[in-house]
Amino acid sequence: MSDQNYPTAPLMRRLAAMVYDGLILIALYILLGGLFVTAISKLIGSAEFVRLSPAMSLSLMFTICFLYYSHSWRRGGQTIGMKAWGLKLLNDNRTANGRSIQLSQCMLRTGVGFFSLLFAGLGFWWMLFDKQQRSWHDMASLTRMVYIPKNMQ
């Protein structure tokens, strides 16, 4: 069965994959954030750790999130959480002809996904009302999240 023929991923599976990926992102933020703060402390010659402003902290979190997701999506269409829940991201762009996800699509998906969450998850809940079951970030990035049952993988 072609990847394009799989059903659209249900909302609960998407949310479960986000929880898995959220744990990975927290670990990455602790690791990379700690390295970043240590490097800044060394550069300015401070014996104490530098405290990041909320804007710097959010920027660092967003950057780590973008790098994690875009690397995973471009390598095989799946993050670790998506693999665990049988999900895969496909390029739904009509001119893509089966090509992998492009960096521009990753940028749009991550940016719009942030706003989808920001507004009480409305961008995710939107898929319950859309005829093609697309979230805001699916529509903006011309991608589609599919569910691949275990017996089909």
pLDDT single digits (tens) 57-91: 889 899 999 999 999 999 999 999 999 999 999 99
**Which residues make Cβ contacts (< 8 Å) with residue 105, sequence separation at least 6?**
73, 91, 93, 141, 142, 143
Query: First and final CA of the chain: distance in angstroms?
Result: 10
* pLDDT given for residue 50 in this prediction: 72
Backbone angles phi, psi at 119, to 5 degrees: -90, 55
CB 60 within 8 A of CB 33: yes
Domain of 15?
A: 3-152
**What pTM was estimated for this model as a whole?**
0.86
SS3 71: helix
113-134 average pLDDT score: 92
* pLDDT given for residue 35 in this prediction: 87
Give the total number of structural domains in the chain. Answer: 1
- Return the sign of the alpha-carbon dihedral for residues 12, 17, 22, 27: positive
Convert the pLDDT of each residue in 9-24 to its tens digit: 999 999 999 999 999 9
